[in-house]
């Protein structure tokens, strides 16, 4: 009795699951011609499958090495589908070729996939992330009931809005901190020390006095 997968065959007789695997493996190795060949074979009968495979590959295998990979693949797919809705029903293969070539040549990084798998296995063994104290703030029902309203802004500026790694200019962050000082929420000396460090680190485009002398 034929296996279920044998019911899904590419035009040359290759089972769809094997063609999908070949597409992924050749993309991982950067073999452009082979990857394009498998993509074309699959798209002849199963365009939904080839585009789904490319999108998954963009997130799983390219990942952080090229964050534009997923939106490029999705844009190509959308353009493909729009063409397919036309009178000819034959979308240009260039859209598929562009996506395949970009993925084959792109630097690759599997950290996202590895992170998902590692976390999933840990949670299956009973681990779960501990709720940090700074998560209970004015954005939560418990935080609004337990934290005095006068402390909401202070906690947001010192803990809630904290980001790591923190990049970019800090001119407007400095403006907001000084605004909070003027309203009695933060310590002026600590804020000015913080702003001074930003200035020494070259992160203030307009200097410590601020844009338009807004200090």
Q: Rounded to whole angstroms, how far apart are CA atoms 42 and 12?
A: 10
Which tokens belong to 5? 């997968």
Domain assignment of residue 141, yes or no: yes
Class of residue 208 by CB neighbours under 10 A (exposed 0-12, middle 13-18, buried 19+): middle
Tell whether the model's pLDDT for residue 209 goes beyond 90.
no
Domain assignment of residue 140, yes or no: yes
161 and 78 both lie in a single domain: no
Measured CA distances, 10 to 19, 32, 49, 182 (Å)? 8, 19, 11, 69
Q: Rounded to whole angstroms, how far apart are CA atoms 18 and 24?
A: 10
Torsion (CA) 50, 51, 54, 58 in degrees, nearest 10? -170
Helices of type H across the chain = 16-29, 32-45, 47-57, 69-84, 93-105, 111-124, 141-146, 152-155, 171-182, 188-200
Picking from 52, 80, 112, the residue at the C-terminal end of a domain is 112
Domain assignment of residue 160, yes or no: yes
Instruction: Pick the most confident of 55-69, 88-102, 193-207.
Output: 55-69
86 and 185 both lie in a single domain: no
152 and 99 both lie in a single domain: no
16 and 99 both lie in a single domain: yes
What is the residue range of 151's domain? 133-200
Domain assignment of residue 77, yes or no: yes
Q: Rounded to whole angstroms, how far apart are CA atoms 21 and 14?
A: 11
Q: Could you report the per-residue pLDDT of 141-182, keeping only the tens digit for each? A: 999 999 999 999 999 998 999 989 999 999 999 999 999 999
101 and 160 both lie in a single domain: no
107 and 34 both lie in a single domain: yes
103 and 155 both lie in a single domain: no
Which tokens belong to 27? 């993309």
Picking from 44, 79, 112, the residue at the C-terminal end of a domain is 112
101 and 182 both lie in a single domain: no
84 and 164 both lie in a single domain: no
97 and 146 both lie in a single domain: no
In total, how many domains does the chain have? Answer: 2
Peptide bond into 183 cis (omega under 30): no
43 and 88 both lie in a single domain: yes
pTM of the predicted model over 0.95: no
14 and 106 both lie in a single domain: yes
Task: Name the residue with higher pLDDT: 215 or 62.
Answer: 62
């Amino acid at each position: 009795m034929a296996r279920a997968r044998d019911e899904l065959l590419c035009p040359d007789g290759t089972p769809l699951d094997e063609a999908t695997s070949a597409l992924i493996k050749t993309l991982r190795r950067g073999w452009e011609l082979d990857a394009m060949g498998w993509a074309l074979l699959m798209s002849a009968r199963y365009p939904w499958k080839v585009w789904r495979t490319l999108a998954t590959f963009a997130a799983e295998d390219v990942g952080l090495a090229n964050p534009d990979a997923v939106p490029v693949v999705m844009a190509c797919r959308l353009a493909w589908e729009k063409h397919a809705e036309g009178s000819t029903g034959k979308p240009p293969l260039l859209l598929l070729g562009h996506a395949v070539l970009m993925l084959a040549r792109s630097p690759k990084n599997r950290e996202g996939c590895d992170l998902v798998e590692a976390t999933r296995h840990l949670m299956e063994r009973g681990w779960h992330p501990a709720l940090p104290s700074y998560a209970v703030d004015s954005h939560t029902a418990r935080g609004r009931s337990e934290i005095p309203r006068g402390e909401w802004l202070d906690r947001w500026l010192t803990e809630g809005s904290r980001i790591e790694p923190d990049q970019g200019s800090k001119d407007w962050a400095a403006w907001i901190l000084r605004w909070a000082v003027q309203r009695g929420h933060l310590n002026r000396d600590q804020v000015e020390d913080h702003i001074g460090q930003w200035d020494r680190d070259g992160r203030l485009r307009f200097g410590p006095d601020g844009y338009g002398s807004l200090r």
